[in-house]
Structure 1
Amino acid sequence: MEASGHSTGTPSNGVHTIYILDQSRQVGSATPETIAEALTYLHRDGVLVLENAIEVEHLDRLRELLQPEADEIAQDPTHHFNFGRHTRNMDQAPPTILDLMFEDVWANRIAVSVLQSLLGPDLMCHYANGNTSLKAEGRQPVHSDIDKPHPLYPFAYGINIPLSDMNVENGSTELWPGSHRESNIDQHITVTDDEYGLAIKPAIVERRRHISPPVQPTVRKGSLIIRDIRLWHAGTPNRTDTPRIMLAFVIQPKWFQAPSKVTLPLKSKALLDSWKANSGLEYAAQWVDGDVDHKKVNSDDVDFSTGNSKLLELEPLMHPAPRFISSL
């Protein structure tokens, strides 16, 4: 064990977990040793769990508000369901009520320090939403969260925060460790001649299944999951009567110039400025007067692709040699 955390188990085809000690969680710091361990497994697997990284009381307060709202949101015929309503997997964003905007949820300092070591010091959060799995039998296709040409190196990470223990029974996300290392847009299905979908071509998925099958980790409340945006994953059925709520944030380097913005009330700006002072994380905010109805937030137009003109010129280098497209 070292000053900020220790490993709690790392099966070769599972999700590596680092336990964050109470003192480290309370001060929001990670030692160089923890960062080294986190980066090593994020490079290998594309996903990592930081256990005990968030105050459980904060998650309980959020769940107290969001869980009763889940059924209400699901009844809205215009609300966004991921891969169709039959999956019962829908957007459910965190509230932007100041008293419920907890720093260890919205700008977790330990997670930010890990991502700064990967992506550089100037980080932007381009997405603040959530993923709720309602009781269902349907599931999502295997996919990644970007459907445009993208670099073959890390450029975005998702932070997933379950508000309760998450397991196979209540719809723990299916993850494909290592798939990020050869993930590229040519593996995606094509919707039209010039448009890609999020889903991975089924034949490629089946080839990888024989080499490195997916996992569904058990994740304890108080944990956060760091996931490379390129990693293959899929929503799975929640077989319980209780909605499984998992918040989601996406962080990218400022130089990447991703277009997506987070709609936030202007009255929260001072709070977000304090987070930036504490950790360096900035929000790509669309400020509005008055309140923001979190129940209406959806991911229909989210876009994690680059707006950097030089990187757009380099798009041909985002397509690997043909042998890598189907080698998984």
Structure 2
Amino acid sequence: MTKTNTKTGEPIGWSDKPKDDPQVLELKAHLEDNNGIKGLQILGSNDVDEAVSLFLRDGFVVIGDVLNSEQIDLLASGCNDVINEVAVLDPDNHGNRGSHRYSFGGSSLTRSQLHRPAWQMLLDVPVLSKILTSIFGSTDYILRAASGDFCLPGAVDYQPLHSDVNDWFEGGKTPFSSFFDLRGQVCLRDLPVPYICANFLPQDVTPLNGATRQIPGTQNSRAKIPNLKEEPEWMKLSTVCPAPAGAMMLRDVRAWHGGTPNLSDATRAIPNLEFYAPWFREPLVPGISYQDYNKLSAHAQQLVRFSVMDSSEELVTGTTLRAP
């Protein structure tokens, strides 16, 4: 998958440092030799019980071969459409999640890519619904967003470790993904998983193309997340790779994770779907028109029922570097 200039068709990236920079070459050799979680398990689509067990233990799990070749091609094409539209807006690769890094949702006026067929297709992946139903203990979970991220070749820096949800605190920037116990006894990390991110791979993920680093077992940890200076080397190498195109990674969004350098020659994309537990809700922004909603399967309609635009209103879509 390659980000291309829509006028010339030539690959772009590598804006911060050249490929042959000595520090880049040293890091590349280090990642080739050491990057990746040792003994990473990639389960089959029938291993639902084991997938649930690993997810609850580690805060993430990888399932292979959930997409066939046609679905992989559709997803890769859909991602490339967005990537090329973003390229026009950001020719210097500044990114909206750090240099050379972008959020698919953060690049959409709707904060989501649910209006695109490639993301709609993911709603009906059979093994996804089986695992989510088992984890949540119900079929009444709903879609939060259809998003994900991509990083360009030449993303030479690590993204700091972070969690996608936090407890509420006074003066905070947003009430989203917030939990507050008046007694001060329970925090969000003590609860069952509030929402789950399902990442899908339209290309192989390797030690060199920006694999997600995931720190096992941190979904319930109250410890302070280390910054880049504090982070030990083993965490920087704790990446979910190698993983094949067509695989799916489920993440408890509370677990510590972050982006890693993409020292390859191609863009790495990991589009996602995000789901709220039946008991957890936040304000939602419409991401699909009523007309497109009616074209979905009954199962997909159930998932996106709170993300559909009213039939009397038009869904305004478009690409941006800063979602409203």
Normalising to structure 1: TM-score of the pair? 0.67
2:251 aligns with: 227
CA distance in 1, matches of 2:63, 2:38: 17
Tell me if the contact between 1:127 and 1:251 (Cα under 8 Å) persists in the aligned partners: yes
CA shift at 1:124, angstroms? 0.7
CA distance in 2, matches of 1:48, 1:39: 8
2:83 aligns with: 70
2:184 aligns with: none
Tell me if the contact between 1:131 and 1:245 (Cα under 8 Å) persists in the aligned partners: yes
CA distance in 1, matches of 2:73, 2:316: 22
Structure 2 residue 144 is the aligned partner of structure 1 residue 126 = yes
1:137 aligns with: 156
Tell me if the contact between 2:51 and 2:131 (Cα under 8 Å) persists in the aligned partners: yes
CA distance in 2, matches of 1:134, 1:117: 35
Q: Which moved more, 1:222-231 or 1:261-270?
A: 261-270
Tell me if the contact between 1:14 and 1:215 (Cα under 8 Å) persists in the aligned partners: no
**Of 272, 284, 289, the match for 1:260:** 284
Give the residue type in structure 2 aligned to 1:49.
V
Tell me if the contact between 1:123 and 1:282 (Cα under 8 Å) persists in the aligned partners: no
CA distance in 2, matches of 1:251, 1:266: 20
Deviation digits for residues 118-159 of structure 1, max 9, x if unmatched? Answer: 113210110111211112212210111113342423121100
1:284 aligns with: 306
Give the residue type in structure 2 aligned to 1:264.
I
Tell me if the contact between 1:272 and 1:282 (Cα under 8 Å) persists in the aligned partners: no
1:46 aligns with: 59
Tell me if the contact between 2:196 and 2:250 (Cα under 8 Å) persists in the aligned partners: yes
Structure 2 residue 83 is the aligned partner of structure 1 residue 61 = no
CA distance in 1, matches of 2:287, 2:226: 33
Q: Which moved more, 1:211-220 or 1:128-137?
A: 211-220
SS at structure 2 position matched to 1:43? helix
Instruction: Report the CA distance shift for 1:217/1:203 in structure 2 as closer, same or farther (over 3 A).
Output: closer
CA shift at 1:272, angstroms? 3.8
Normalized per residue, the structure richer in helix is 1
- The number of equivalent residue pairs is 257
Deviation digits for residues 6-38 of structure 1, max 9, x if unmatched? Answer: xxxxx9855421123xxxxxxxxx5xxx22211
SS at structure 1 position matched to 2:287? strand
Structure 2 residue 43 is the aligned partner of structure 1 residue 18 = yes
2:108 aligns with: none
Structure 2 residue 111 is the aligned partner of structure 1 residue 92 = no
Normalising to structure 2: TM-score of the pair? 0.68
CA shift at 1:282, angstroms? 4.1
Q: Which moved more, 1:261-270 or 1:220-229?
A: 261-270
Structure 2 residue 215 is the aligned partner of structure 1 residue 179 = no
SS at structure 2 position matched to 1:242? coil
Give the residue type in structure 1 aligned to 2:129.
V
CA shift at 1:69, angstroms? 4.3
Tell me if the contact between 2:61 and 2:249 (Cα under 8 Å) persists in the aligned partners: yes
Instruction: Report the CA distance shift for 1:163/1:203 in structure 2 as closer, same or farther (over 3 A).
Output: closer
Instruction: Report the CA distance shift for 1:229/1:95 in structure 2 as closer, same or farther (over 3 A).
Output: closer
1:251 aligns with: 275
Structure 2 residue 171 is the aligned partner of structure 1 residue 159 = no
Deviation digits for residues 154-180 of structure 1, max 9, x if unmatched? Answer: 121100012111112111111111111
CA shift at 1:211, angstroms? 9.1
CA distance in 2, matches of 1:155, 1:15: 25
Instruction: Report the CA distance shift for 1:53/1:262 in structure 2 as closer, same or farther (over 3 A).
Output: farther
Deviation digits for residues 221-272 of structure 1, max 9, x if unmatched? Answer: 1111101111111111211232111101111123212223351111122234
Aligned CA-pair RMSD: 3.3
Tell me if the contact between 1:132 and 1:243 (Cα under 8 Å) persists in the aligned partners: yes
Structure 1 gaps of 5+ residues are 1-10, 21-29, 188-199, 302-328
Structure 2 gaps of 5+ residues are 1-35, 106-112, 168-178, 180-187
Instruction: Report the CA distance shift for 1:111/1:258 in structure 2 as closer, same or farther (over 3 A).
Output: same
Normalized per residue, the structure richer in strand is 1
Instruction: Report the CA distance shift for 1:77/1:170 in structure 2 as closer, same or farther (over 3 A).
Output: closer
1:269 aligns with: 293
